[in-house]
């Protein structure tokens, strides 16, 4: 996934034939305190809310609760939505699953906790995990040993292969699943424009203050060859203790934004810097020119890293790598990058003449190399010891006057 500043809210029709938003399922659990009323054949009902052993399912405070009391073997609980398939009669799609979740009564770190599965060809309502072959994408909510805390995870494998940092409290989870056949862009919860590869998913978490965080970027599909985002099942590992509250589940087909693929990037000339320049202050360009597959050009952000170990105190030449971060509406599908060199020298280049005559040329005395240091100070004194100029901003030059003008 790549994130960009959202300049406008325009939905473009993609290669796959993007549809407008279609809500397939919506449930806020406000209509009844009896969980069994949410089981039925209605569009916004589940066809199964099942549990066995010491586990149970309940509705409390207008939320659905899955209560895990530990045990082994048959101690499971599950939520199933297999009738009224999402994207009925079709394959592919760009699905958005949003819901509020809260974890409580957790006591230990669980690597394989509550599993949310989106797929096709699931059958039955028994409280057991679906077969991986019927699951396109998985989202795991794995409780930790810290009360109320949990980790999100996605991808194949028990508990998810790609894991987030820990979250706590009530979080709104927004899960974008791409099965369109091409990379697509979308309007992200933080107001930016984002992209996700085909057969991958982005998972966002929004806290109660409204702050949105990309929890997992491009989680791979469990079974990418499964063409269909039509069913939901929530299941769990039997061997842990925790309670999961779920509220405001909405499952919808989302509009997407067509992306242009970067096919080439401009070269970056070698640069030099004075010794003791830290890596983040090297004079490397923040943006470079790129060319797209349709022949048009634009700019992309560059994130620099050292190929050879960088030592700001050691003179010499260093190789650096620039990762290309596409601009709005573009994608770096081929992972193009740029390489150049940085040479550390033992001298600071100081300009020793300037002409403060107001003609706009060399009117101030400035030392560009001081931009390479975190806390530079420039002081100018007259022969009698009077200070004429003082600055801690390397971009502010001396105009030849004293401090009194």
CATH architecture of structural domain 12-253: Sandwich (2.60)
Would you state the pLDDT for residue 359?
Answer: 78
pLDDT of 7 higher than 50:
no
pLDDT of 13 higher than 60:
no
Kindly tell me the burial class for residue 384, based on how many C-beta atoms sit within 10 Å of its own C-beta (0-12, 13-18, 19 or more). exposed
Tens of pLDDT along 163-199? Answer: 999 999 999 999 999 999 989 999 999 998 899 999 9
Q: How far is CA 400 from CA 102, 368, 371, 388, in A?
A: 64, 17, 21, 8
CATH class of 260-345: mainly beta
What CA–CA distance (Å, rounded) separates 384 from 371? 29
Would you state the pLDDT for residue 168?
Answer: 97
Residue pair 377/392 in contact (Cβ under 8 Å)? The answer is yes
Residue pair 63/32 in contact (Cβ under 8 Å)? The answer is no
Closest residue by Cα to residue 291 from 328, 332, 322: 332
Vertex 50: Cα angle to 87 and 124 (nearest 5): 50
Tens of pLDDT along 313-362? Answer: 999 999 999 999 988 788 898 899 999 999 999 988 877 777 877 777 87
Vertex 61: Cα angle to 58 and 67 (nearest 5): 30
Tens of pLDDT along 134-173? Answer: 999 999 999 999 999 999 999 888 888 899 999 999 999 9
The model's pTM is 0.74
Q: How far is CA 112 from CA 116, 163, 316, in A?
A: 11, 11, 49
Buried b (16+ CB within 10 A) or exposed e, 10-41: ebeebebebeeeeebbebebeeeeebeebbee
Tens of pLDDT along 214-231? Answer: 999 999 999 999 988 999
What CA–CA distance (Å, rounded) separates 182 from 179? 8
Q: Which residues have a Cβ under 8 Å from the Cβ of 313 and sit 6 or more positions away?
A: 275, 276
Query: Where do the structural domains in the chain lie, given as residue ranges?
Result: 12-253, 260-345, 348-405
């Amino acid at each position: 996934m790549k994130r960009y500043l959202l300049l406008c809210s325009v939905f473009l029709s993609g290669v796959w034939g993007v549809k407008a938003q279609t809500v397939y399922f919506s449930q806020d659990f406000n209509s009844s305190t009896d969980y069994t009323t949410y089981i039925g054949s209605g569009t916004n009902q589940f066809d199964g809310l099942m549990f066995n052993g010491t586990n149970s399912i309940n509705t409390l405070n207008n939320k659905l609760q899955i209560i895990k009391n530990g045990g082994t073997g048959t101690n499971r609980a599950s939520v199933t939505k297999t009738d009224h398939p999402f994207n009925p009669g079709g394959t592919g799609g760009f699905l958005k699953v949003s819901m509020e979740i809260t974890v409580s009564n957790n006591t230990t770190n669980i690597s394989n906790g509550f599993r949310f599965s989106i797929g096709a060809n699931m059958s039955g309502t028994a409280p057991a995990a679906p077969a991986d072959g019927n699951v396109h994408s998985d989202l795991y909510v794995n409780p930790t040993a810290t009360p109320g805390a949990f980790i999100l995870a996605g991808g194949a494998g028990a508990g998810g292969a790609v894991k987030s940092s820990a979250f706590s409290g009530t979080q709104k989870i927004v899960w974008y699943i791409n099965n369109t056949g091409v990379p697509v862009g979308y309007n992200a919860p933080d107001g930016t424009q984002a992209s996700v590869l085909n057969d991958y998913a982005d998972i966002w978490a929004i806290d109660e203050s409204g702050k949105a965080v990309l929890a997992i970027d491009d989680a791979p599909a469990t079974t990418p060859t499964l063409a269909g985002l039509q069913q939901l099942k929530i299941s769990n590992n039997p061997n842990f203790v925790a309670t999961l509250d779920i509220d405001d589940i909405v499952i919808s087909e989302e509009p997407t934004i067509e992306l242009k693929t970067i096919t080439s990037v401009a070269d970056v000339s070698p640069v030099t810097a004075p010794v003791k320049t830290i890596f983040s202050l090297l004079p490397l360009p923040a943006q470079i020119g790129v060319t797209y597959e349709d022949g048009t050009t634009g700019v992309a952000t560059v994130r620099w890293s050292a190929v050879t170990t960088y030592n700001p105190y050691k003179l010499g030449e260093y190789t650096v790598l620039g990762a290309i971060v596409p601009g709005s509406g573009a994608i770096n599908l081929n992972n193009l990058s740029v390489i150049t060199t940085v040479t550390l020298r033992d001298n600071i280049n100081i300009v020793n003449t300037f002409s403060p005559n107001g003609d706009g040329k060399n009117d101030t005395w400035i030392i560009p190399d001081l931009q390479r240091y975190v806390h530079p100070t420039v002081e100018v004194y007259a022969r009698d010891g009077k200070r004429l100029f003082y600055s801690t901003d390397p971009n502010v030059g001396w105009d030849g006057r004293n401090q009194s003008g």
